[in-house]
Structure 1
């Protein structure tokens, strides 16, 4: 049956057992497919009933990798949780999804969630897998609302990897840098791409330039911030093995787009989301590329537009959200309403921004991403995030968190905004660049942060004025 496949690690252990599966460290340590297969086979999850979810809370990527494939073989749904989450955040996610078992440090104690030991004997491991079986549970980033627990089948990951191959080839001699966390769909997707093809992955550090020096990396998945930092060290890129870079997770400013288009490797911008098992559409960046980018929809993905909103279907569409231990299945026939706005022609997709990010200023619809795209064309801006804040005159106005390239140039930005933007789009408030957890900014939290900062500024100004009058 075409629906049944062998665990890719076991398959490659049989056909090319000595080939490197994982590069572990800069000092040359590695694991062959045969040794990785043995590590996965040695893990017992007999305390967890088949079909249940196991939350894995760990900061070691090798542990996460081996646990993911041990879960897969033993019919358990693998759910990686960010180890930097507080006890309250971990509890909230487990309660929300109805998770009853977890593997993690002894310092964690979760209510109604049983800790497990992986060293008990079992005979249940199975290397024959079905594409229909539930495989992973990945929480969305929550960048525009509360994080949701998205459940994927093995088939979702399989077809996601297969479609990616059509645009970005990856073979047994190649190595993909694990530069994204495994509690993010992008990290999981690149592992499946590499292992289905029989290539290798390299366990990344925060020093990507050093990773490229010490590992034989041919492929890398990066967010724009990582790319920007990498390109600040051009000497690290000479004579390296890196051939393909896949960039996603945030908008590219025009300067970064040009640098990538003229770089020493092929660069692809990507549109994707957790609910579609990562990549939906990608485009190779060339010197002629310009915003808005026209992404090529990959095989096994279907994209439709309904009232301006992107609707997604196909073999990569997730199974549904898990709530209180039950799967709320997505209607595969109707598809998934992404809340992204866009247009499509001949499988070329333009993405304009989030439907739920739009706000009204003085009766006009304002799309934050359009403002960000315009301001990122300015040479002195490295990053910008637009959020709406209440305004007594216009209802809502734009506030801009700005990451300046060198020096702060507020007056210049206000002047240039008049040339680039309509009056209702121009940022009324400029705020310092924030910090956040995860790969993408949480706009909901940043909106509250902007409001709090502006209230503080008003109160300080009033206090200063009162002091002067006295």
Structure 2
């Protein structure tokens, strides 16, 4: 599907009275959604928002966030979604580089002398600007191994290209309903939004509800394996047809249990710079992440994964200019170590993360995939600790469910990891390192580990 107007207006012309969006328990048809967005866009324009303006959207996922997002797009704004948990000192340094004019704060508080505060208010009229697929639409924060987070700029065209690739694999359409289970300040949450708009199906937004309740009536969801495990333990009927899994290795037992309940499971590999998913497959227990989706190209050069795609960001935004993502060969060099066998990509880990212990190479992500399959582990990081005898030894920093006993983990991994791979220390992830949703810095973790264990 190629659009000549805003996607929601396109679907209004196709089937105006078809349900399009559920916000909590309120349902909007495409016609009703367009009317609401026209009013909100007119309200933003009345407050001075013009095409090309940068707007910070500080918000968690809830119905107002989704409506504000779409209305700001319709104004032609360039949206920078920000996690309300991000430390304000970080924002004070980061935001001046983003060339913003406005701030819409729906959660928390952020005072700025340089940004004009917006409010959500409906105004009469049909607010907005003409659809241009090539217009910069979003600025999504990402982070490398060092320095400040960067903002990857995507056009609507790039987001829709990402959606088309995923929909070629996952048959989400017609009366299917995808739960917006991931925040819009993450590119994975934006991926859900654009798949909905590309497919003309349905989307559900429910705030702060238990997952099983939030999923009521939904046929598609993006989850981590732990969430799916919990769902499958319920004896209640689950309407899900398919789940896109991320965040950890996918155990075969999990996919089998899901299949027995009529749920297909998919997994893959994606990057912020490529508007979410690049490679994907139906989960089969194998360690690869599948084939490149339509519109993507992948190659491995000297062990490093290189990517080209229609969904690639236009660049990183800095001080009003776009900085190129590509190398001299025209590819994005990911710094991910990988193997490509018969078109199927396996991600081995970050090239920057490899370290050696007693002469043995340790790729932290390999250990993390194993430890992350423990049903009570929410996330895990393995970092090196300097050691006089071995050079470096692995240390595991884990976040577990409340009430879990971290001291049981060394025994659990004893027959799952080689002796040299087994962490010599197990530490609980401290709250101060969670960093408000931005990727946790391994460098900061390593420094914290060193201080914790060496005093």
TM-score (norm 1): 0.84
Distance between the aligned counterparts of 1:336 and 1:302, measured in 2? 10
CA distance 1:448–1:225, change in 2 (3 Å): farther
Q: Deviations over 1:396-427 (max 9, x none)?
A: 2210134679653256257436xx3152x332
Aligned with 1:112 (options 91, 111, 114): 114
Distance between the aligned counterparts of 1:54 and 1:390, measured in 2? 44
Structure 2: segments with no counterpart, 5+ residues = none
Q: Please state if 1:320 is matched with 2:315.
A: yes
Q: Tell me whether 173-182 or 375-384 shows the greater mean CA deviation.
A: 375-384
Q: Tell me whether 128-137 or 100-109 shows the greater mean CA deviation.
A: 100-109
How much has 1:163 moved relative to structure 2? 1.0
How much has 1:60 moved relative to structure 2? 5.1
Q: Tell me whether 81-90 or 191-200 shows the greater mean CA deviation.
A: 81-90
State the SS of the aligned residue for 2:437. Answer: coil
Distance between the aligned counterparts of 1:166 and 1:440, measured in 2? 29
Distance between the aligned counterparts of 1:377 and 1:17, measured in 2? 45
Structure 1 segment 302-451 matched on structure 2, within 5 A:
302-331=297-326, 334-375=330-371, 384-402=380-398, 407=405, 408-409=407-408, 412-413=411-412, 415-416=414-415, 420-421=417-418, 423=420, 425-432=421-428, 434-435=430-431, 436=434, 437-438=436-437, 441-451=440-450
Distance between the aligned counterparts of 2:387 and 2:343, measured in 1? 41
CA distance 1:12–1:156, change in 2 (3 Å): same
Q: Paired residue for 1:14?
A: 13
Distance between the aligned counterparts of 2:157 and 2:149, measured in 1? 23
Distance between the aligned counterparts of 1:368 and 1:152, measured in 2? 31
Q: Tell me whether 148-157 or 428-437 shows the greater mean CA deviation.
A: 428-437
TM-score (norm 2): 0.87
Q: Paired residue for 1:30?
A: 27
Q: Paired residue for 1:149?
A: 151
How much has 1:306 moved relative to structure 2? 1.1
Q: Deviations over 1:284-307 (max 9, x none)?
A: 124xx23x2341211001111111
Aligned with 2:36 (options 35, 39, 46): 39
Q: Paired residue for 1:461?
A: none
CA distance 1:278–1:234, change in 2 (3 Å): same
Alignment: residue pair count: 441
State the SS of the aligned residue for 1:167. Answer: coil
Larger radius of gyration: 1
Distance between the aligned counterparts of 1:258 and 1:389, measured in 2? 38
Distance between the aligned counterparts of 1:218 and 1:144, measured in 2? 39
Q: Deviations over 1:418-465 (max 9, x none)?
A: xx3152x33221223555343865433332332232135xxxxxxxxx
Distance between the aligned counterparts of 2:231 and 2:144, measured in 1? 27
C-alpha contact (below 8 Å) 2:386/2:392 kept by paired residues: yes
How much has 1:65 moved relative to structure 2? 2.0
Q: Paired residue for 2:84?
A: 83
Q: Tell me whether 256-265 or 268-277 shows the greater mean CA deviation.
A: 256-265
How much has 1:264 moved relative to structure 2? 3.0
Aligned with 1:129 (options 128, 131, 134): 131
Q: Paired residue for 1:234?
A: 234
CA distance 1:380–1:110, change in 2 (3 Å): closer
How much has 1:228 moved relative to structure 2? 3.5
C-alpha contact (below 8 Å) 1:150/1:322 kept by paired residues: yes
C-alpha contact (below 8 Å) 2:269/2:289 kept by paired residues: no
Distance between the aligned counterparts of 1:367 and 1:345, measured in 2? 20
